């Protein structure tokens, strides 16, 4: 059977605005098509930082005009970002594959990711999003259920939680598409955060780290490898110091030790290494690779990047 790869695209693979995104996905599609041409089954995941920021900013700005558009819950903003990123990405992938004579269906799944209502992050939302508000505006939004926090004297901003993923709601659909030899784009922006209440899934005011969500997806569809694409070719310890050391391969024990020694920056490399370690530990033989987009093929072949796994 073909090996299955979950490929988690970083922000540099998607651009920072609409024209940049349309250009970036063309380059990104070449790399993904190369892997498919080599015989791998590929599931594509991606972040949404700049895109979801544009969406929240636009609706927040509109809420202050005569139009009085509603300020949208974070779960809805993530859903919107999944749609328009997926639209550009799937069309670029379809074109690249057809140009190579590969007739493979490509589709984006609007994906929900379950989080635990008891996750500790809900007690202390800390991730700021969107525009700045006056105290009076912030109090009005608080009455509507939004968590607001003063931001370094610049005004008030919405803050949301960042809980860990516990389940991928559409995992069976992803697996069915894979088994039908289709290319799947899923878990966009870490997935739409939802909390299970009986048979009901309700949106959570949160964002999920896309690398953690990608690792959970890779685990649940029994992928062989998780590839986390980032802005560096390899990860390093003592980064930026005279004794900086770039790493080719890490055992699970080494990765955990470096995490405990705080070699990786929170909000940057730390969640990538933690997610990679989580996947590699989930089943014997699973490996995770952290590298650059254009080095993915070489990384799979063991020529570059950082491999995590025993």
Whether 272 sits among the annotated catalytic residues: the reply is yes
Q: Strand, helix or coil at 284?
A: coil
Distance (Å, whole) CA 235 – CA 290: 7
Q: Which letter does DSSP use for residue 206 in this model?
A: B
Tokens of 194: 């939802």
Tokens of 193: 């955060």
Whether 12 sits among the annotated catalytic residues: the reply is yes
Contacts 24+ apart (CB under 8 A), 22-25: 22/88, 22/92, 25/88, 25/89, 25/92, 25/93
The residues with which 195 forms a beta bridge, in sequence order, are 202
Which one from 210, 216, 234, 287 is the annotated catalytic residue?
A: 210
Whether 144 sits among the annotated catalytic residues: the reply is no
Which one from 171, 272, 287, 295 is the annotated catalytic residue?
A: 272
Tokens of 145: 């259920």
Adjacency order of strands within the sheet including 106-108: 106-108, 183-185, 41-46, 4-9, 225-229, 287-291, 306-308, 249-250
Distance (Å, whole) CA 159 – CA 151: 10
Angle between helices 49-63 and 74-99 (to 10 degrees): 130
Which one from 3, 57, 104, 127 is the annotated catalytic residue?
A: 127
Which one from 10, 11, 299, 305 is the annotated catalytic residue?
A: 11
Question: How far apart, in Å, are the Cα atoms of 195 and each of 154, 180, 215, 271?
Answer: 33, 30, 19, 22
Residues classed as catalytic = 11-12, 127, 210, 272
């Amino acid at each position: 059977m073909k090996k299955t790869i979950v490929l988690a695209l970083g922000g540099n693979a998607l651009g920072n605005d609409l024209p940049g995104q349309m250009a970036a996905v063309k380059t990104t599609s070449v790399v993904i098509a190369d892997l498919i041409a080599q015989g791998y089954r590929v599931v594509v995941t991606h972040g949404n930082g700049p895109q979801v920021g544009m969406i929240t900013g636009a609706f927040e700005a509109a809420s202050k005009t005569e139009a009085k558009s509603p300020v949208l819950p974070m779960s809805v903003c993530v859903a919107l970002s999944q749609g328009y990123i997926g639209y550009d990405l799937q069309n670029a992938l379809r074109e690249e594959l057809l140009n190579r004579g590969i007739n493979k269906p490509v589709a984006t799944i609007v994906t929900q990711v379950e989080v635990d209502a008891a996750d500790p992050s809900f007690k202390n939302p800390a991730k700021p999003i969107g525009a700045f508000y006056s105290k009076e505006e912030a109090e009005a939004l608080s009455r509507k259920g939004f968590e607001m926090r003063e931001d370094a004297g610049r005004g008030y901003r919405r803050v949301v939680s960042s809980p860990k993923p516990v389940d991928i709601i559409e995992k069976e659909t992803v697996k069915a598409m894979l088994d039908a030899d289709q290319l799947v784009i899923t878990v966009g922006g870490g997935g739409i955060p939802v909390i299970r209440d009986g048979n009901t899934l309700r949106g959570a005011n949160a964002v999920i780290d896309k690398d953690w969500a990608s690792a959970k997806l890779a685990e649940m569809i029994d992928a062989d490898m998780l590839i986390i694409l980032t802005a560096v070719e390899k990860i390093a310890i003592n980064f930026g110091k005279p004794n900086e050391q770039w790493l080719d391969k890490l055992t699970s024990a080494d990765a955990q030790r470096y995490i405990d020694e705080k070699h990786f920056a929170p909000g940057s490399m730390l969640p990538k290494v933690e997610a990679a370690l989580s996947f590699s530990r989930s089943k014997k033989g699973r490996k995770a690779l952290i590298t650059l987009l254009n080095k993915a093929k070489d990384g799979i072949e063991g020529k570059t990047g950082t491999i995590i796994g025993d």
